[in-house]
Each structure stands twice: as C-alpha cells, then as structure tokens.
A and B are shown apart, each in its own frame.
Chain A
Amino acid sequence: MNEPRHPNFFAVEYADQVREEAEYALAYLKHLERMIQNPANISQFPRIQEYEELVSRGIHWLTIELLDLLSARTTRKLMKNALHIKAYLTFNLNICLKDLYNLVTQRTRSHFPVSEYLRKIHVENVRPYVYNSIDNALRFFMRCYFGDKFKATLACMTELTGDFRVRPIELHRKGILTVEVPEVNITRTRLWSGLAHEAAHHRLSMIPGMQKVDNLFEELSEELQKIGWRHVPKIYKSFEIVEWLSYLQYQEMLADISSVMVIGPASIFGLLCYSPPVAYDTFFTHPPLPVRVHYAFELLQSVVEESTDCAKELQDLRRSWDLYYRNFGAGEAHRDMVEEYLSVLRDSYQSDLFEVVRESIVVGSHINPFNEETWGKISDAIENKQLEKLGPVELVNVPLYRRWKSYPEMLKSERTPLLYRSYEKKLTCFIMKRFAELHP
C-alpha cells in the first residue's frame, strides 16, 4: 500500500497529544532535577545519586524521543513514535515520577509550578478558570443525564498521571463528587468529550435498575460473552470475569453513545485523538476502537439528512478514520474480533442501544442534543469568528472541528501540524472562560 503524502489528521492529533504529555513529564523531571541538585536540599535525600540518575536518564531519553517524534513525517512513523513514548510514560516513568514527586514535595515543600508551565505553553490566562469551568461543564453534562434537578458538590482534582474519573465520596455528607482530570488534558480540547463520557458513566453507576437498560444488557450480555470466551486472555477465562467484562463493555457503549448524542462529533474527535492506534485483539474492559467509532458514526449519520453539508463532513471524517485505521488495523485476530462484534451490533442491537440511551439516559429537558442545526451554528461561528453566542454543546465542538477544517491549509503552507496550535490554545482559553461564566 502506498503511503499518502501527508500524515493522517488523527495520527497527527494522537502524536501531538503524546508530545504534550511527554513535554509535561519533561517539565516535571526538570523541576525535580532542580530540587534534587539544590545544595540546600542535599541532606533531605539519602539516596540522592539514585534519584539523580533516574531523573537525568528520563530527561535525556524524553528529549531525544521528542526530537525524533517532531521529525516524523509519515503516519506510520508518527504512530510508532507516539506509541513508544506513551508506553514509556505509562510503564516506566509515570509511577516512579509520581512517587519521586511526592517525596520531593514532602521533604522540600516545593510544588511543581503549574502556572509557569502553562505560561510556557501560552495558556497562562486559563489557570484561574480551570476548576470553575470543569465544574460547570460537568454540571451541565450531569443535568443532561440526570435531569434538570441534578445537584452535587463537585471537587475537581488534577493529577499528573491517571485518567478521567468521576466518583462519589462520603466525607461529612453525601452528594460530593470527586472529579479527577489528568493535568495535561486541561490544555487539550479533548477535555470536554472526556467529561461528557465520564458523566454518563456516573449516571449509569448511580441509578442502577433502569428497566430498559437492564433488559438490553441481559440480551446483549449473552452475545458479548460469546465473543469474550473466544478472545479473552487465558488468565481471565472464568465465568465471572467474562461476564463482568461484558458488563463493563456494555457500560462503555452506553457512555459513548450518550456522549455522542449530547455533544456530537466532539465525542468522536475526542475518542480518536485520545485512543492509542493499536489493533488489540483481546476482549477486555472497553470495546475495540473501530467498534466504538462505528456506532458513533452510525448514530450521527442517523440524525442528519443525507446530502446536507453536515452529512458530507461526516463522510469526510469517516473516510479519514478509515485511512487511519488501515495503518494499524490489519492484524487478523483483531479484524476477526471487530467483525464478530460489528455483526452482533449491526444486525440486532445497534438501534436498540440508541433507543435505550435516548429514552433512559439523555433525559435533561434543557438540552437540545446534537443535530444539523447545531452543526450549522458551529460552522457559521467558525467562519465568522463569532463564538460569543454559542451554547455549551456548540462550544465544545469548535476547537477540534476548526482544526480539522484548517488541516489541509496547514499542510499546504508546510507548517508542522505538531507545533501549530496557537489558535487552538486561544480557543481553549476562550472556552474555559465561557464555561466558568456559565451559571447552570
């Protein structure tokens, strides 16, 4: 297969997200190096040489790897480098970095200067708005799923590592939700789709016993378990685990569909720009990426009329996804699993899933779920650069859609897409401020 001349949009976006994570980790490492090498702190660290070695090797390794990533010009090379860095961060660096950071903070009482870092990446004005805007955005999504009377105190925490998570805690009283957000995602447009997805998970875990949701699970569970028995790793081949995994996958499907129904393409962009391009062939906690992308596109294409601008854009997006997937989805075992999965969904359950979400999960009366009209408003706003009148659903769609639209132009002018994000950063600040002002 001939490699297209330019790297694929989604490969660039995924690689760029990894680049930002790596640069963030690098900034952390440099902060730790400064702390450890400060003569005043020597007595605080009995194993100083070991720490120095660890930090210095991490800095060297990441610097070279980042240079290598920035020089990548093809989809394959971008994906390979990005996955390589992501695996290094996940398995080698994040855990020891977190432990070392805790140790250094505890002993020297010095914290990583997040504001300084944000200034460096040109989103310095965003810091005062972060927590309020995340709270307000999440409250908006919760109301889409729980109804207009949803009330909770949200405690947002940002973490160096980890993933999006919303969970209830009981401190002095009920009704407090902790919201964990990976720190690096604060500056990413993927933040909003992550919140929309997690809010749906929270709804599913807090209100069990919804008859339609449960009935569908009972039917689908049998089919999922059949796939599961064929593809689950050997160590997990037990009735309980396969059943539990199909339960988790069902929840993921519902959360994906809910999020697509509410915010539309932003959810697909988020999914594709965040998920590693890997053709995994094991039955695990999430459905395979091509399956998730498939039902998301099917849902969106079912709500727009054919031959409209919106339908054409969705077709373009889907074509771009197909090209991207061709680069990593050739494994036979993976294809088999995806095909089995899709044949189950396509033939029997896809429309049931959409119906269940529409009737039982997306229940807020104040929202107008994504539709052609929303799309029109987004395109107009981008064209006329007038974002002030947009509502939350439109706002979360603007940055990645705008980036998608300007991508061909970016390539024509031979800019390096990995480094050209200044307008997107401006948009991030703007959206943060808008959400902070929102009074839900």
Chain B
Amino acid sequence: MRERRKWFSFAAYVGRHGDYARRHFDVEATHMENLLEPYRNSRSLWEVLLEIIHDAPQPGVKYDMLTRRALKAFPEGFSKQEMKSSLSLLRKRKLIAYHRQTQTYSVARGAKLPLR
C-alpha cells in the first residue's frame, strides 16, 4: 500500500495554474489539431498525380514517368493499383485526358483543377 500524503487541494492547484494554462490551451481544439498535425500538409495520390500532369509540358506525361514521380512522392505505401484507381477517378471527373496516340496524360481542356 502506498503511503498517502497530506490532503492536496485541487482547487488551489487550478487557481495557481489555471489562468496561465487556459491562455495556452483550448483543450478540445488543440487536442484534435495536435493529433492531425502530421497530416496537415499531407496529400492524396490523386492530388500528386494531378499536380504532376498539370506541371508537365505538352503533350503530357507518360505512365512510366508518372509512376516514377508518384513513387518518389510516396516512398512508403505506394501501390500501382491505387495509382490506377486514382487516374481513373481523375478521368471520370474529366480533370485529365489520356491521349492514345502519344500515350500520355494531360490536363483536360477547360477543367477547373482543385489544386491547393
């Protein structure tokens, strides 16, 4: 059994530090922000792909090049399947177009790109 110390006043403690700490912490808001901080500037694969395609010179960017650059952006957890589904998502939303002749992807004409 641990030795019990003399009675300690929680109220006095809050009085001593409370105002100081309250100025620094809006407890709930900072908690969520703290948890999500590592993801603050994180980007999805589709965002990265769209950016690469957007920045590429005409006539666009080839699949192999896209894979290499996406792999560089996501060294961990990159999957080709995910990349294919992201490209298909972008094509379905008519943000990018695939050109069979040149086998390249480029930004669709007139598309409003949700780039940050």
Interface contact B40-A284, CB-CB below 8 Å:
no
**Minimum distance in angstroms from A428 CB to a CB of chain B:** 23
Flag whether A163 is at the interface (Cβ < 8 A).
Answer: yes
**In this assembly, does B77 line the interface, its C-beta being within 8 Å of a C-beta of chain A?**
yes
Instruction: Say yes or no: is B58 at the interface (Cβ < 8 Å to chain A).
Output: no
Inter-chain contact B114/A209, CB cutoff 8 Å:
no
Report whether A285 and B114 are in contact in the complex, using a CB–CB cutoff of 8 Å: no
Q: State whether B5 touches A219 (Cβ < 8 A).
A: yes
Chain B minimum-CB-distance residue to A90: B36
Q: A209-B10, A219-B5, A247-B13 are in contact. Are A86 and B36 (CB under 8 A)?
A: yes
Tell me if B103 is interfacial: C-beta within 8 Å of chain A: no
Q: Which residues between 65 and 123 of chain A lie within 8 Å of chain B, taking CB atoms?
A: 65, 67-68, 71, 76-77, 80-81, 83-84, 86-87, 90-92
For A211, the closest partner residue in chain B by CB is: B7
A interface secondary structure, majority: helix
Closest to A89 in B: B36
Q: Find A67's partner among B33, B42, B89 (CB 8 Å cutoff).
A: B89
Contact of B17 among A67, A76, A217, A243 (CB under 8 A): A243
Residues in A whose Cβ lies below 8 Å from that of B93: 63-64, 67
Chain A residues with CB under 8 A of B21: 240-241, 244, 248
**Contact partner of A285 among B10, B20, B30, CB < 8 A?**
B30
Q: How far is the CA of A210 from the CA of B9 in the complex (A)?
A: 8
Q: Which residue of A lies closest to B32 (CB)?
A: A90
| With contact pairs A71-B89, A208-B11 given, residues A276 and B4 touching in the complex (Cβ less than 8 Å) | no
Q: Which residues of B contact A433 (CB under 8 A)?
A: none
Q: Is B80 an interface residue (CB 8 A)?
A: no
Residues of A within 8 A of B38 (CB): 278
Q: Which residues of B contact A280 (CB under 8 A)?
A: 34-35
A240 touches B28 (CB 8 A): no
Stretch at the interface among A33-41, A53-61, A126-134, A309-317: A53-61
Q: Does A215 contact B (CB under 8 A)?
A: yes
Indicate if the CB atoms of B34 and A215 lie closer than 8 Å: no
Enumerate 18 A-B pairs (CB-CB under 8 Å) in ascending A order: A57-B114, A61-B116, A64-B89, A67-B92, A71-B85, A77-B82, A80-B77, A91-B40, A162-B29, A215-B7, A219-B5, A241-B21, A243-B17, A244-B25, A247-B17, A248-B21, A280-B35, A285-B34
* Minimum-distance CB pairs A-B, first 7: A60-B114, A87-B39, A208-B11, A218-B8, A163-B28, A244-B21, A61-B114
Interface residues of A (CB under 8 A from B): 56-57, 60-61, 63-65, 67-68, 71, 76-77, 80-81, 83-84, 86-87, 90-92, 162-165, 208-211, 213-215, 217-219, 240-241, 243-244, 247-248, 275-276, 278, 280, 282, 284-286, 348
